[in-house]
Amino acid sequence: MSVANYIPNKYDVVVDPSRCRMCGRCEENCSYGVFRKEQDRIVTFPSNCVVCHRCISFCPADAITIRERTATYRHHPHWDEESREDIYNQANTGRVILGGMGNARSYPPIFDRLLLDACQITNPSIDPLREPMETRVYLGKKPATVEITGSGRDVELKTSLSPNLKLETPIMVAHMSYGAVSLAAQKSFAMAAQRLGTYMGTGEGGTHPDLLAYKDNIIVQVASGRFGVSPDYLANSAAIEIKAGQGAKPGIGGHLPGEKVDAEVSRTRMIPVGSDAISPAPHHDIYSIEDLAQLVRALKEATDWKKPVFVKIAAVHNAAAIAAGIARADADGVVIDGFKGGTGAAPKVLRDHVGIPIEAAIASVDAKLRNQGIRNEVSIIASGGFRNSADLTKAIALGADAVYIGTAALIALGCRVCGKCYMGMCPWGIATQTPRLVSRLDPIEGAQKVANLITAWTHELQELMGAAGINSIESLRGNRDRLRGYLLDENILEVLDVKTVGA
């Protein structure tokens, strides 16, 4: 690197010598080499620091401080710090800038401009601790009508139902592949999903044999690289998801660096040890909607038409029309991943500039499907940056049947959103395959954390429903009358089909 393009350190890492006991745990825990224990002091290399908090969490003396360090640039409203530093970087390397996690620009979340409703006087709110408060959701095709003979207890259903997934809570754990995350992380998700009656996604990395015990709570993914796909893989699942796109990087494929492909990952993904796993941008057998229909049917045929098949797309400008196409291609669910969705690694320019907010995508997809009379044909699963129970409650009120949480589930495991997943050095044992680091994540404890999070959010969802006088989640779904927009402009209110506050 030339000195001309030097980028100043972002952080100061300070060890307070009056507190430090020289135990060396900071050095042992930091996988990025920030600390070195010398004879009588800890030397730090702050330029390596990613602010993962591992050292702070493990320092018994509370001796470590990490501060943001600003080397002031001359203020310029257009040439902000990030623009300048990206240019220095690219001038040095000539490469595409990678970034982990989701969109890092400060687009305002629409969720924060939507307010929920509550009952007062004319109708009573419902106390979820005293009354039933149903959060069960079924995902898959629903009949438009049903034929029933008889009455009372002597009734019989004449309509045959398509396979559906039964969720006891509308919250599922998103697809994060083995390879991108550790087996310990996947086990944590799988155990939590099984305990709560919900589901987790395998991502496109195949299913490790250790996860087969949880197969009834696993949604397997078929992505453009087809890694890990086999008849057994499809059979050992509750549902199948075709991944056509991802909110963090719409329009491109995936790349698992060879460094992360050890023997176990190699076996599960069915690729050679140490080789890069590159998923192409499109599915090379899907160049149009009729090809998707073929793949959906092929997967159904391979599993005796017993499993629902979902199709995941990134929320892009034309998401509504694409979703309607998916509904007509025999799929049972459409997964829409918003532009704030996370990832292990994505080109920063795509992560930050491509796609649309999940709120607008849910609203337009739900409206389009209803207008075409095919809303019962597919379930809508939304994902992409849900931060709390309010976000997901609003997503359901806009029209989603269920949501996936990815980053939030990682944070439950200890992730600090440092955004360096692609380096494979995750000190929390989540986004790494290094055995020494993976061993730091105990799946039993991890499962408890993830289960706690989903349970807590489900309780909060029930409180919000009860306050709104609603005791079954299907009456919340698409109930946009229970939302109001606060300081949203008229155009977006129209897309969301939500009134302004006070109206």
Partner 1 sequence: MLNKDGRRVNGSMIKNGLSRMNERGNGQGAGYAAYGIYPEFAEDYALHVFLDNMKEAKFSVEKEIERWGYIVHAEEIPVDDRKVEVSHIPYRYFFKPDPEKLLGRKIDEKDAILKMVMDINASRSGALVFSSGKNMGIFKASAWPEEVGNFYMVNKYKGYLWLGHNRYPTNTPGWWGGAHPFGLLDWSVVHNGEITSYGTNMRYVESFGYSCTMLTDTEVVTYLFDLLVRKHRLSTEMAGHALAPRFWDDIDRMAPNERDVHTALRLAYASASMNGPFAIVVGNTGGFVALTDRIKLRPLVMGYRGKTAFVSSEEAAIRAMEPNLDRVYHPPAGTPVVERLEGRA
Q: Which residues contact partner 1 (rule: CB under 8 A)? A: 119, 122-124, 126, 131-132, 134, 136, 138, 142-148, 151-157, 159, 161, 164, 370-371, 373, 375-376, 468-472, 474-482
Kindly tell me the burial class for residue 342, based on how many C-beta atoms sit within 10 Å of its own C-beta (0-12, 13-18, 19 or more): buried
Question: Smallest gap, in angstroms, from Cβ of residue 327 to partner 1?
Answer: 13
Toward partner 1, which CB reaches closer, 397 or 447? 397
Toward partner 1, which CB reaches closer, 57 or 376? 376
Question: Smallest gap, in angstroms, from Cβ of residue 374 to partner 1?
Answer: 9
Question: Smallest gap, in angstroms, from Cβ of residue 401 to partner 1?
Answer: 9
CB 89 within 8 A of CB 97: yes
Among 449, 407, 463, residue whose Cα is nearest residue 196: 449
Toward partner 1, which CB reaches closer, 78 or 158? 158
Among 39, 40, 52, 71, residue whose Cα is nearest residue 13: 52
Q: How far apart are CA 41 and CA 37, in angstroms?
A: 6
Please provide the DSSP assignment of 148-185 as one string. Answer: EEEETTEEEE-SPPPP-EEESSSEEEPP--BTTB-HHH
Question: Smallest gap, in angstroms, from Cβ of residue 305 to partner 1?
Answer: 17
Toward partner 1, which CB reaches closer, 154 or 304? 154
Among 406, 404, 333, residue whose Cα is nearest residue 365: 333
Q: 123-162 as b/e, with b when 16 or more CB fall inside 10 Å?
A: eeebebeeeebebebbbbbbeeeeeeeeeeeeeeeeeeee
**Token pair in block for residue 486:** 């606060």
Toward partner 1, which CB reaches closer, 18 or 151? 151
CB 207 within 8 A of CB 216: no
If phi > 0 it is left, if psi is from -120 to 50 it is alpha, else beta; for residue 373 that is left
CA dihedral 40, 45, 51, 54 (to 10 degrees): -40
Alpha-carbon torsion (136, 139, 145, 149), positive or negative: negative
Toward partner 1, which CB reaches closer, 94 or 373? 373
Toward partner 1, which CB reaches closer, 254 or 478? 478
Toward partner 1, which CB reaches closer, 133 or 441? 133
Question: Smallest gap, in angstroms, from Cβ of residue 373 to partner 1?
Answer: 6
Question: Smallest gap, in angstroms, from Cβ of residue 220 to partner 1?
Answer: 24
Q: How many CB atoms lie within 10 A of CB 43?
A: 11
Toward partner 1, which CB reaches closer, 333 or 478? 478
Question: Smallest gap, in angstroms, from Cβ of residue 475 to partner 1?
Answer: 3
Question: Smallest gap, in angstroms, from Cβ of residue 178 to partner 1?
Answer: 33
3-state secondary structure of 298: helix
Tell me how far CA of residue 228 lies from CA of 176, 255, 270, 345, 467, in angstroms: 14, 15, 6, 20, 45
Toward partner 1, which CB reaches closer, 120 or 230? 120
Tell me how far CA of residue 401 lies from CA of 133, 241, 378, 382, in angstroms: 16, 16, 10, 8
Toward partner 1, which CB reaches closer, 223 or 467? 467
Question: Smallest gap, in angstroms, from Cβ of residue 167 to partner 1?
Answer: 12
Question: Smallest gap, in angstroms, from Cβ of residue 152 to partner 1?
Answer: 8
Among 320, 382, 339, 341, residue whose Cα is nearest residue 107: 339
Q: How far apart are CA 432 and CA 425, in angstroms?
A: 6
Question: Smallest gap, in angstroms, from Cβ of residue 386 to partner 1?
Answer: 21
